Amino acid sequence: MKSKLVSASESVKRVKDGDKIMVGGFLAGGHPENLVKALLETNPARDLTIISNDTGTQELSIYQLVKSGRVTHVLASYIGSNPETGRLLMTGEAKIELYPQGTLAEKIRAGGSGLGGVLTPVGLGTEVEKGKRKIEVNNKEYLLEEPLKAEVAFIKAQKADEEGNLIIDGSSRNFNIVMATAADYVVAEVDEYVKAGEIDPNHVNVPGIFVNAIVKVG
């Protein structure tokens, strides 16, 4: 079995110009800071699309990545803690798409599950519905939200084994689990790395089949 354990700089070499990158976490909670930092410092890829619940705070590397001018498209739920993303929204220097948090999560889940999209009433009658198809089911109207996929996903877990099986604790599960299923290449930043068989299968949150690379930190 080929080892999935690599360095942070090695793990981000896969990213190329024009890629869509999913970044797990909710602000600093469950955020793969070391992977984003490695991308920022060791890979010059540009014209990137970031798909994330938020774009972090000024203390996180994702803020610097957005500020670097290398991100041209952001899909997120919340950008209030990153003034640079707000500036890009106002100036139009980058395309910023905002979604209700549950809608964003479901779009990613649909992408990972091979679904054609999800139907939701959230956003009807607001700015959210602009340009979207409406579908009526049982005399009730819904917005069709199309699935989201990416070339690369950076996620955060507390523990991984050699096969890439992951344990993600508590609220860190946020977007990290669904993003692991919706990208072609998945990198997991982990705090603990153990031998195959040392994780109880009942405790696995993300099966190793979804994980291509593991970066041990701390």
Beta strands in 36-132 (DSSP E): 48-52, 71-76, 95-98, 118-120
Q: Are 36 and 61 in contact (CB under 8 A)?
A: yes
pLDDT value of position 132: 93
pLDDT at 122: 95
Domains of the chain: 8-116+147-216 (3.40.1080.10)
pLDDT of residue 184: 98
How high is the mean pLDDT in each 10-residue block of the chain (218 residues)? 92 97 93 97 98 93 95 95 93 94 97 96 92 95 97 98 96 94 98 96 97 95
